[in-house]
């Protein structure tokens, strides 16, 4: 319900209500007639899909794209200021132990990718076929992300274009209609 308009809010309310009713039919073992095991599993899958459509959409269209570290400035050039860039980094912690982590870096203001990286407080240099953190500005987004001098960037991950997760409602509702159709055929005719 964050950043939704009236139409989206009503749609979320309706879908959540249907999901709760489907889940209640799973727990009770009864929709129109007593559920078979396969129907119960299908209804559980429908309820999960209606509650969390993003889970399936992330499997169909991954939310992040990976790029080699040498293309850091080009990737940042394709993103806007404030977009999140994820950097897989190898380095050492404060006591000298090896450390590997993912730093989430919000890009700063700038006209191109290099300027946006510098606006975030990060400067890198290509050395020996590797991209090494050369400088991190004090009290910057790069420092807040955990980046430090002499760490090696091993991978870049950035947001990918994804279809709306609400598209997963379509197969879920089709499966629900199929279960309802099967149960209506089994229901005893009314006198």
SS (H, E, C) 114-175: HHHHHHCCEEEEEECCEEEEEEECCCCHHHHCCCCCCCEEEEEEEECCCCCHHHHHHHHHHH
* 173-183 residue pLDDT tens: 999 999 999 99
- For residue 1, the model assigns a pLDDT of 65
Q: In this predicted structure, what is the pLDDT of residue 190?
A: 64
118 Cβ neighbours under 8 A, 6+ residues apart: 108, 110
Tokens 């730093």 — which residue? 103
pLDDT for res 138: 92
The answer to pTM > 0.85 is no
Task: At 58, list the tokens.
Answer: 């992330």
For the segment 106-118, the average pLDDT, to the nearest whole number, is 90
Percent of the chain with pLDDT over 70: 98
């Amino acid at each position: 319900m964050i950043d939704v308009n009236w139409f989206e809010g009503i749609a979320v309310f309706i879908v959540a209500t249907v999901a709760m009713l489907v889940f209640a039919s799973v727990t009770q073992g009864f929709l129109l007639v007593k559920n078979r095991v396969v129907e119960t599993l299908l209804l559980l899958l429908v309820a999960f899909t209606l509650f969390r459509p993003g889970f399936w959409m992330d499997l169909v269209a991954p939310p992040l794209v990976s790029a080699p570290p040498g293309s850091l400035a080009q990737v940042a050039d394709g993103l806007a200021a404030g977009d999140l860039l994820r950097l897989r980094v190898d380095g050492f912690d404060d006591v000298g132990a090896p450390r590997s982590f993912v730093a989430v870096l919000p890009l700063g203001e700038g006209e191109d990718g290099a300027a946006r990286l510098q606006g975030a407080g990060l400067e890198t240099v290509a050395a020996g076929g590797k991209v090494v953190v050369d400088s991190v500005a004090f009290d910057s987004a790069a420092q807040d992300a955990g980046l430090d001098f002499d760490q090696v960037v091993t991978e870049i991950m950035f947001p990918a274009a994804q279809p709306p997760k609400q598209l997963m409602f379509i197969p879920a509702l089709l499966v629900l209609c199929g279960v309802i159709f099967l149960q209506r055929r089994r229901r005893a005719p009314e006198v």
